[in-house]
Amino acid sequence: MSQYVSRLGRRSQAAPPRLRIPGSQRRPRRVAMLSVHTSPLHQPGTGDAGGMNVYIVELAKRLAAINIEVEIFTRATTGGLDPTVELAPGVLVRHVDAGPYEGLAKEELPAQLCAFTHGVMQAWAGHRPGYYDLVHSHYWLSGHVGWLAAERWGVPLVHAMHTMAKVKNAALAAGDTPEPAARVIGETQIVRAADRLVANTAEEADELVRHYEAEPGKVAVVHPGVNLERFRPADGRAAARHRLGLPQNALVPLFAGRIQPLKAPDLLLRAVAVLLDERPALRSNIVVPIVGGPSGSGLAKPEGLQKLAAKLGIADVVRFQPPVGQEQLADWFRAASVLVMPSYSESFGLVAIEAQAAGTPVLAAAVGGLPVAVRDEVTGFLVPGHEPALYARVLRDFADHPQLVDRMGAAATAHAQSFGWDTAASATADVYTAAMHDFRTARRHVRSHHG
């Protein structure tokens, strides 16, 4: 967390929360959270649902627990949904009709932002003035709605990018589709309009300044959290393997996430093929689970990974699993020898923290936030670049030294403890407080000049 936010946290704790003295620093009572393209009610690993869904759900619940009510506006993707659903005490999900329910790709959503904004404004019109204290938008599509809503309501806008077009385009997987210029322009506008930008890591904060000319004073670093009650070693690796029908002594390198070129699940398959070429005897003692569904540009070739496994001659050791709920995902993490994350770009890599919290080391590409999420050579290994042979070498180390799994797994569990959601929610609340204070100060300054 930035020094700025931690200093502010100490100052804000000094004042009683109910004070309404002009200029006093108070937390918001109610936040409008915007997630246009993916609903917090969707299962991660399906369609466009992923780490951002988990982030929004967990953050909203923990904010509600510290008396900040959250209303999450999201696009209705099926007919007949209740207009509002209580996700948890103090957390309401509002379904907004914008465009056809089914078959609308994320790339087609910019055309529906006007309809979505209309739905948000309709909900607001039914409330008294000042109902929402602040808007927190997630991803650039929501940022555009948030920009307009915050201006209309006279409240500050806090925005979280989650991923950035310029960063993704600088590290594309071979054959992947670049992000369109319209997104780059949209992100640049939001960076300029937001009162605060929340970055997952110091590197993401630097990227906002470097690629989008964000004002450094507007950027706050808040690490995402992990649900430590759900993701924990529980009854251990042996029991999890028994439940999932996995052999007890096998090497189990796991991929869990959306199946698309950006996440590079193909690299795990290529690394396993290299490993089995070198060590044919390992074939009878390795299982490679791929847990997740096609997403994004991966939808163009939904069977691509299965075909690749067959072409590489390793189809017999690969086990494809559709996306699973969070409880079962935790079991897959516990059962694995190592989670493999060879992504080309990753703003944080929440899955890496979840796996470590469950007691499993991580083998990841040294990109984005993964060097923050994984302690190299302590809780896992970070690999520079995307050469299958480099990943194969680490997998061989795990095969040759099975004790590595337990030793690194124990360190991984300890490392993950510092990433609880309560910490993230408290830091986010401090960002809100700072945004509200600066926003009110700026408005008073404008009024005094025009008075």
**pLDDT of 305-347, one tens digit each?**
999 999 999 999 999 999 888 899 999 999 999 999 999 988 7
Residues 156 and 259 in one domain: no
13 assigned to some structural domain? no
Residues 81 and 129 in one domain: yes
* Cβ atoms of 317 and 272 closer than 8 Å: yes
- How many structural domains compose the chain? 2
* Cβ atoms of 418 and 357 closer than 8 Å: no
On whether 227 is known to bind a ligand per the annotation, the reply is no
Which CATH number goes with the domain that contains 291?
Answer: 3.40.50.2000
Residues 261 and 368 in one domain: yes
Task: Tell me the whole-structure pTM to 2 decimals.
Answer: 0.80
* Cβ atoms of 200 and 159 closer than 8 Å: no
* Nearest-angstrom CA–CA distance, 302 and 10: 50
Residues 387 and 334 in one domain: yes
293 assigned to some structural domain? yes
On whether 44 is known to bind a ligand per the annotation, the reply is yes
* Cβ atoms of 72 and 91 closer than 8 Å: yes
* Nearest-angstrom CA–CA distance, 226 and 217: 27
On whether 95 is known to bind a ligand per the annotation, the reply is no
9 assigned to some structural domain? no
447 assigned to some structural domain? no
* Cβ atoms of 208 and 214 closer than 8 Å: yes
Q: Using a CB cutoff of 8 Å and minimum separation of 24, what contacts does 120-128 make?
A: 120/32, 120/34, 120/73, 120/96, 120/145, 120/149, 121/149, 121/152, 123/71, 123/73, 123/94, 123/96, 124/32, 124/149, 124/152, 124/153
Sole residue written with tokens 């251990």: 236
Domain range enclosing 372? 235-415
On whether 53 is known to bind a ligand per the annotation, the reply is yes
H runs (alpha helix) in 358-420? 370-373, 388-400, 403-416
Q: How confident is the model at residue 2, as a pLDDT?
A: 40
315 Cβ contact list (under 8 Å, min separation 6): 306, 309
Per-residue pLDDT of the chain (451 residues; tens, 9 = 90+): 443 333 333 333 333 333 343 445 789 999 999 999 777 777 555 455 567 888 899 999 999 999 999 999 999 888 888 999 999 999 999 999 888 777 777 788 888 899 999 999 999 998 998 999 999 999 999 999 999 999 999 999 999 998 898 988 887 887 788 999 999 999 999 999 999 999 999 999 999 999 999 999 999 999 988 999 999 999 999 999 999 999 999 999 999 988 888 899 999 999 999 999 999 999 999 999 999 877 665 556 658 899 999 999 999 999 999 988 889 999 999 999 999 999 998 878 889 999 999 999 999 999 988 999 999 999 999 999 999 999 999 999 999 999 999 999 999 999 999 898 999 999 999 999 999 999 999 888 777 666 5
Residues 213 and 282 in one domain: no
On whether 186 is known to bind a ligand per the annotation, the reply is no
On whether 106 is known to bind a ligand per the annotation, the reply is yes
Residues 264 and 382 in one domain: yes
On whether 336 is known to bind a ligand per the annotation, the reply is yes
On whether 154 is known to bind a ligand per the annotation, the reply is no
> Which one-letter amino acid corresponds to residue 292?
G
8 assigned to some structural domain? no
Residues 276 and 383 in one domain: yes
On whether 354 is known to bind a ligand per the annotation, the reply is yes
Residues 68 and 103 in one domain: yes
Class of residue 362 by CB neighbours under 10 A (exposed 0-12, middle 13-18, buried 19+): buried
Residues 426 and 355 in one domain: no
On whether 334 is known to bind a ligand per the annotation, the reply is yes
On whether 206 is known to bind a ligand per the annotation, the reply is no
On whether 50 is known to bind a ligand per the annotation, the reply is yes
What is the enclosing helix (H) or strand (E) of 158?
A: strand 157-160
Q: How confident is the model at residue 216, as a pLDDT?
A: 97
Sole residue written with tokens 């204290």: 133
On whether 346 is known to bind a ligand per the annotation, the reply is yes
* Cβ atoms of 347 and 160 closer than 8 Å: no
On whether 49 is known to bind a ligand per the annotation, the reply is yes
| 3 state DSSP class of 219 | strand
On whether 367 is known to bind a ligand per the annotation, the reply is no
Residues 326 and 387 in one domain: yes
396 assigned to some structural domain? yes
Q: How confident is the model at residue 402, as a pLDDT?
A: 93
Residues 313 and 174 in one domain: no
On whether 128 is known to bind a ligand per the annotation, the reply is no
Task: Name the nearest CA neighbour of 98 among 155, 33, 35.
Answer: 35
399 assigned to some structural domain? yes
* Nearest-angstrom CA–CA distance, 365 and 390: 10
On whether 13 is known to bind a ligand per the annotation, the reply is no
19 assigned to some structural domain? no
On whether 432 is known to bind a ligand per the annotation, the reply is no
Task: Name the nearest CA neighbour of 252 among 155, 355, 180.
Answer: 355
62 Cβ contact list (under 8 Å, min separation 6): 225, 421, 422, 424, 425
Cβ neighbours around 275 below 10 Å, total: 25
Residues 220 and 362 in one domain: no
On whether 195 is known to bind a ligand per the annotation, the reply is no
